[in-house]
Amino acid sequence: MIEFDIEKYLNSLSDKVEKINVSNKKLKYLPELSRFKCLKYLKCSNNQLTSLPILPDNLECLDCHSNNLTILPILKKKLISLDCSYNIITSLPVLNKNLIELFCANNKLTSLPVLNKELKILYCISNDLTSFPVLNENLKHCYYSNNPISSIIYNNNFNIFKKNIKIWNNFRYLYYCLKYRKKFLKIMEPIIKKRYHPSYLYNLTEEDDLDEKLEKW
């Protein structure tokens, strides 16, 4: 199999190219990209990269997942989507103001930078995070499972986000209740009959006790 010549490939491209995809090429390095002034999309995932060159100023999307990166370059102002999952990154650079999507799962992160106000999607599962930053009001999706988080900074936005999580979980529970309703009823029927039998309700002395029992029902 002929080895992919990254230098030759990049030299063959126009200076005005807007998209470069060099994924799955077994690359160990990526040459400088400074001449690509119009580059908006760069995909270099599934390689063996340990570092990235300085990013072009107009870059909007960077996908560098599944490499051996330990650090990222400075994020440019126009970047809106970043996927650096499945690397060995220990810390992220300052997030640019326009970033909307951040995928940084399966790294070695112990903390996250301050979240920019425009961020809507944060996917940071399977890291070494012990704390969580202040959540912004625009954040719609946050995935942070499989982290040893011991502290979260609470604010109004966190309460809103927590409420959204609760709503989502309620729909999930409803889904499972509907899906397994027959099995559930079969198992729970004897317990329900015993717990809410009229004779038991009759023995409740206070009206409040009855209200409480009916509410739980």
pLDDT reported for residue 51: 97
Task: Mark residue 66 as left, alpha or beta (left: phi above 0; alpha: psi -120 to 50; beta: remaining).
Answer: left
What is the tens place of the pLDDT at every residue in 89-111?
A: 999 999 999 999 999 999 999 99
pLDDT reported for residue 174: 47
CATH number belonging to domain 1-179:
3.80.10.10
Sequence-ordered list of residues with C-beta below 8 angstroms from that of 75, at least 6 positions apart, any chain: 55, 82, 93, 94, 95, 96, 99
> Distance (Å, rounded) from C-alpha 98 to C-alpha 77?
7
Low-confidence ranges of the chain (pLDDT < 70): 1, 150-217
pLDDT reported for residue 143: 86
pLDDT reported for residue 133: 81
Q: What is the CB neighbour count within 10 angstroms for residue 136?
A: 17
Q: What is the CB neighbour count within 10 angstroms for residue 96?
A: 16
List the structure tokens of 11.
Answer: 């030299």
pLDDT reported for residue 166: 44
Domain map of the chain by residue range?
Answer: 1-179, 181-216
Beta-strand ranges (E) seen in 55-178 are 61-63, 81-83, 101-103, 121-123, 131-132, 141-143, 151-152
What is the tens place of the pLDDT at every residue in 36-45?
A: 999 999 999 9
